[in-house]
Amino acid sequence: MCKKVLIVSTLIYFSILLIYANPVRGLWVVRYALTDKTEVENIITTAKSLHITDLYVQVRALGETYGQKKIGQQDTPFGLLVQKAKQENMRVHAWLNVLFIWANDRQPTDQSHLFYRLKNSTLRTVNDKNIPQYSSLKKQGIEGFFIDPSSEENLLDLKALISNLIQNHNVDGIHLDYLRYPSYEYSFSPDGRTQFFRSHWFDPIDMFKIQGKNNSVIQVEQYKYLSGMYKDYLRQNLTGLLIQIKQYMNQFKHPAELSIAVKPNRKIAYDYYFQDWGSWLINDICDHLVIMNYDTVMHNFIQNLNTALIKQNESKVMVGISVYNQDYQAVIDRIKETQTIKNGGYVIFSYNYLREHPSYFNDLKKAIIQPN
């Protein structure tokens, strides 16, 4: 009898994939996939094959809205995708890049682009009098141009789009990405400095003047104090933007969840990108987080997952799992790992990669067993 139990247990553990506890099985869809009706059908077919419950579909990236003139119409690929998904009992979350607005040496051709409208809010270093060159950003490991979270104009754009998506498309959720600073060094802008000065009565770049004198003990301590104050301000600035978005969404009769893609290591997210996502969960400023846990080292993946699960908020944390940088067996192992502890589910990044690599997709599809 014990031997039979052991065999059954072993088969269960080593079965290709068991999905029994995750309330969300998600799939990110990058905007390039939304081309026509045929591609929409393929997205739905792919999602069904993987037993997906939630689609996270990108509609805002690089400061532009996909199908901006028609996003409120139902005959666009996005509108069709929402209709088809709902017919299959899948939820659709509109994926919006919040602060990352451009990534190219060539400037946008549209003169009304945020790149031109928000130059005083574009983040830079203390040494940059003007907007930095894209090549300089890339050398520092920065994806591209970011804007200050305090930008009222960007917030108005976001609100208009969110209203459109909720009221005209009845999306099930708004999914925010790039709700972060690119780094501490690239956290300065003319508008941001002005706002900080009004509340703290000193220009944050003066910290570096203090640091550069003769590094006496007093000056070092003074720099640490002022730097700490400025970093707290950055976190509050980011959190403040999130609160405004959440409050705006609460006014609609049609309820929509608010989720955020965040850096997976909680300490790095807090210290380097100023995402205080622990407090976002605890204070109910968002409904879910998706930690982008793309680390190819399993130990790091598990460590990120364990530190992300804040007590009594575990079900609000979902795990982003990448397919572009690891084989399908590694993806399966990670999904299994998410099932060993209480959490909100997982989201696969991305449909586009699976579309471009059919053999990979077929292996993954075969490995995923339909949930009970």
Q: Within a domain: residue 315?
A: yes
Q: Within a domain: residue 2?
A: no
Question: Minimal CA–CA distance to 174: which of 100, 250, 77, 277?
Answer: 250
Task: State the Cα angle at 157 between 148 and 273, rounded to 5°.
Answer: 30
What is the total count of domains within the chain? 1
Tokens of 54: 């939630």
Q: Within a domain: residue 121?
A: yes
* pLDDT at residue number 216: 63
* pLDDT at residue number 281: 92
Beta-bridged to residue 26, according to DSSP, are: 54, 347
Q: Which domain holds residue 33?
A: 22-367
CATH code assigned at 288: 3.20.20.80
Q: Within a domain: residue 16?
A: no
Residues of the chain predicted below pLDDT 70? 1-22, 67-74, 209-218, 372
Cα 204 to Cα 202: distance, rounded to the nearest angstrom: 6
* pLDDT at residue number 325: 97
pLDDT tens for each residue of 169-211: 999 999 999 999 999 999 999 999 999 999 989 888 888 766 6
Q: Within a domain: residue 245?
A: yes
Question: Minimal CA–CA distance to 93: which of 21, 28, 167, 164?
Answer: 28
Q: Within a domain: residue 9?
A: no
Q: Within a domain: residue 4?
A: no
Tokens of 179: 């709700």
* pLDDT at residue number 2: 47
Beta-bridged to residue 25, according to DSSP, are: 346
Write the DSSP assignment of 52-85 as a string of letters.
Answer: --EEEEEEEETTEETTTTTTTSTTSHHHHHHHHH
* pLDDT at residue number 89: 96
* pLDDT at residue number 208: 73
Q: Within a domain: residue 15?
A: no
